[in-house]
Amino acid sequence: MTNSMKQTISIVIPCRDDDCLMFRQTLDAIVCQILGPEELIIIDSSTDNAIENTCYEHGLNNIISYQKISPAFAGLSTNVGIKSAKGNLIALLDTKTLPAPDWLETYRNFLYQNGVDVIFGSTTFSYETNFQRAVRAASYGSIAHETVPGSLFYKEVGIRIPFKENLRAAYDLDWKIRLRDEFKTFTPMSSFISYSQFPSSIFSLVKKYFIYSFYTGMTVAQKSLKDIYFSIALVVTALIIPNWNLMLPGWDQNPLYIPDVTKKYFLALTIFLLLVSLTSLIFKQELKSSLWYKTLKFIIYIFLFYSVYKWNAEIAFWVEDAVLYVPHITKIFLITILSLSICYRGIIKPIQKQEDLSYLLPFQWLAVGLIGLIMDIAKAPGLIFGSIRGRLSQLDLRK
């Protein structure tokens, strides 16, 4: 890419029925930039004129380029803004993000000096209510996260790798995945963007995480066919191998009979998961978003639960005086798993993300842990259904 210091910056903000009060704060933050933009492009697909009125009530009339379009997802609106931009550099924000005063200046200088094509946003998340603070502790924590809002890149990058226009959520994740295949990217360690619009209720939280996970599943499924095929293979083996002996004529007289096949299969899966996790840790490979890795863990959880459920029948033969008989073992197991999960999501994970321990103790960690558990439960079906939908959509395109 060209590194001419004469290049100018266009900020693109997609809008759709957003909170105008927060949008005014975003415009105020743009006014305070040490390095001002060449233009501010507002692509508005709202059903009313509130955003338009806010634009022209503000003191940025000299640089605002306002466009009204039909209702659209953020990916389409952003593409429209990028194509119409006058600047050679594109900066992205949304109506709920507040950039630091040195955001554009620092990003532009780094872009020139380090030979990268894209600098992603680096965002910390704030809160306004006690519930939102608990959500932050259970999700992002106090550390900075890589985001699309806050990004700066050359215009030709955005033209060459446009956003997908039919994704309601996870369009940012999809764009970053495709972008990294062709361009040099960088994400600052320190934060330059602040975001504060967390869900304000359990219902909105569950809805948000389910929808985002659904589209994340679609994105991941469409990206890696090998991931999908390996996940399917794991499910097929989990259905066939434990029933292997039942399918053989002659049972244990058949030469293909395998003693304790289910136990051996479960042990093999567990060892495989431990080896993969250890290898990922050593070589710093990210597996958390991999569908096959999630599928493997899910299968192991199912086998573990089934083993506990059948413990007294298979091991103690329902003899209550037997040494290995455990009363209420299934209830104990479920309570233990839920308790450990809440402890991890309520204490360990927030501390890893630099949440204040004095906030979590003595009892707030319980609320944080429960919210984290609810988020995980909401995400699981979304990822599964989204992965299936993503694969089916690929098959439809090939017909």
Q: Is the pLDDT of residue 220 over 80?
A: no
Task: Quickly count: other Cβ atoms within 10 Å of residue 387's Cβ.
Answer: 25
Q: Distance between CA atoms of 160 and 179, rounded to whole angstroms? A: 9
Q: Is the pLDDT of residue 5 over 70?
A: no
Bigger pLDDT: 391 vs 325: 325
Q: What is the pLDDT of residue 190?
A: 93
Q: What is the pLDDT of residue 390?
A: 67
pLDDT digits (tens, 9 = 90+) for 239-288: 899 888 888 888 788 888 898 888 899 899 999 988 888 887 776 666 66
Residue range 203-209: mean pLDDT, rounded: 91
Least confident of 120-124, 131-135, 163-167, 360-364: 163-167
Least confident of 112-126, 206-220, 264-278, 333-347: 206-220
Q: What is the pLDDT of residue 296?
A: 86
Average pLDDT, the chain: 87
The set of residues, in sequence order, having a beta carbon less than 8 Å from that of 380 and lying 6+ positions away, is: 213
Q: Is the pLDDT of residue 389 over 80?
A: no
Q: What is the pLDDT of residue 4?
A: 47
Cα-based angle 332, 352, 280 (whole degrees, multiple of 5): 85
Least confident of 41-45, 55-59, 186-190, 238-242: 55-59
Domain with CATH 3.90.550.10 in the chain: 9-198
Pick the CATH number of 9-198 from 3.90.550.10, 3.40.50.300, 3.30.910.20, 3.40.50.2300: 3.90.550.10
**Beta strands per DSSP E along the chain:** 9-15, 39-44, 64-68, 89-92, 97-99, 118-125, 145-154, 185-186, 193-195
Least confident of 70-79, 120-129, 320-329: 320-329
Confidence of residue 6 (pLDDT cuts 50, 70, 90): low
Q: Distance between CA atoms of 119 and 33, rounded to whole angstroms? A: 17
* Strand partners for 195: 97, 125
Q: Distance between CA atoms of 264 and 270, rounded to whole angstroms? A: 10
Q: Distance between CA atoms of 255 and 251, rounded to whole angstroms? A: 9
Q: What is the pLDDT of residue 226?
A: 64
